[in-house]
Structure 1
């Protein structure tokens, strides 16, 4: 026999629980969060700021999730959201003295600082490995010519 008072005191199932997210989105977040966070920490050395930027980017990605899935390259679009969000947070912390950084510089950061190989970078930014390798070579040559 159950006690009606005890069962009435319990909240109905589902109340107070976070809303369910699509399995694909949860998998996307799990796969990309560590790399996104490593990238954000380069630009935002304070771990709280970096984590906040990544969380904000994932919130924006969640809002656009259905549209992203319908696009030709969801990963590339998500990367642009992250990159823009980190850039916004960077500008708040330290206004720039010049133009915004080139996208290829981000590849160099992911490779030389974060430590990702070209195939991993391609997975993160949503492109092919050959493109990443070529862009890394161009970035390295551009930097070397400036020495």
Structure 2
């Protein structure tokens, strides 16, 4: 006797209470379980768990009270802070390269950052004159600077 396969037999699930839903979502968000593990452990479809996660994240966002505009403002402030740090670090690298005479940035940094540092070095040399190996500035003579001011 042959057994006929039943196609697309829908699996029945029990209803899950709110506490269990929140427990599952919390375990997934904290990294204790993956979606697949939670699906097997609690016998809930993965799509249902994904729905719970979406619903929970919007609930959390409403409770924190952070609007999209506030979040954008906070991120812009963070970008400004990081840009300041980057400029400060590039200034230090440019100064060190001028003092030591060693091009560290070309060897160890991406090309775009190395170019920015090279530009900062050139600007420093134009402003301050040249630096020798010991880090002493050789500023243009006062006659040259007075002559340049008169030209302007």
Identify whether the pair has TM-score above 0.5, normalized to the shorter chain: no
Scaled by the length of structure 2, the TM-score of the pair is 0.29
Point out the structure with max Rg over C-alpha.
Answer: 2
Q: TM-score, normalised by structure 1?
A: 0.30
Q: Which has the higher contact order (CA 8 A, sep 6+)?
A: 1
